[in-house]
Amino acid sequence: MEPCLPLIKPLYIIALMICLFITGGFNSAQANDLHLLLITDKSNKIQPLSKDEMRRLFLGMPVYRNGNKLKAAINRSDEMCYQIFLQYILGMSHKRYVHTMVSSLYRNGIKTPPIFTSPEKIIEHIHTEPYSVTYIFKHNLSKFNNLNVVQEIWVSRTP
């Protein structure tokens, strides 16, 4: 039996963040805070989601806004962004998320949202798939055009 196994991932993320700040991995504009944003295409007018709605959406369950079904897209282009999303928004590790999604598929036929490992591909998906949403860090937002920020979903406050 391995004690403290659930603490390994959060500690890894915290250690990674500390190392990046110490070594200057972030430029001065990003050194203060990290902001995780929920985004969609500029043409989609989506009202902010509750934490429960966000959790259900990214677990493959239906969530509606203005009579339209929202579609989640998993952003794996930035591992730190993905891990923070899992830990603080969904409240689970990657292993637990995969287990939950496989279980949901076999029990209820709920499919895992599409997973993207390239920032360009996920943004292309957001633009072509109506009412699709994903998450990115705020400092990456300026790299892409025609995006609508639905809401800020997490902030890392530095001392």
**pTM tops 0.85, yes or no:** no
Least confident of 18-22, 50-54, 64-68, 144-148: 18-22
Inter-CA distances, 55 with 11, 21, 67, 150, Å: 22, 29, 19, 15
3 state SS of 63: coil
Res 137: pLDDT: 97
What are the structural domain ranges in the chain? 35-154
Percent of the chain with pLDDT over 70: 80
Q: Which helix (H) or strand (E) holds 39?
A: strand 33-41
Q: Of 133, 140, 131, 153, which Cα lies nearest the Cα of 39?
A: 133
For residue 51, pLDDT over 80 is answered with yes
Superfamily of domain 35-154: Periplasmic binding protein-like II (3.40.190.10)
Could you tell me which residues come within 8 angstroms of residue 133 by beta carbon, excluding any fewer than 6 positions away?
A: 38, 39, 40, 46, 57, 70, 71, 72, 73, 126, 150
Cβ atoms 104, 60 nearer than 8 A = yes
Q: How many CA atoms lie within 13 A of 39 on its CB side?
A: 26
If you average pLDDT over every residue of the chain, what do you get? 87
Cα 61 to chain centroid, rounded: 16
Res 1: pLDDT: 44
Could you tell me which residues come within 8 angstroms of residue 145 by beta carbon, excluding any fewer than 6 positions away?
A: none
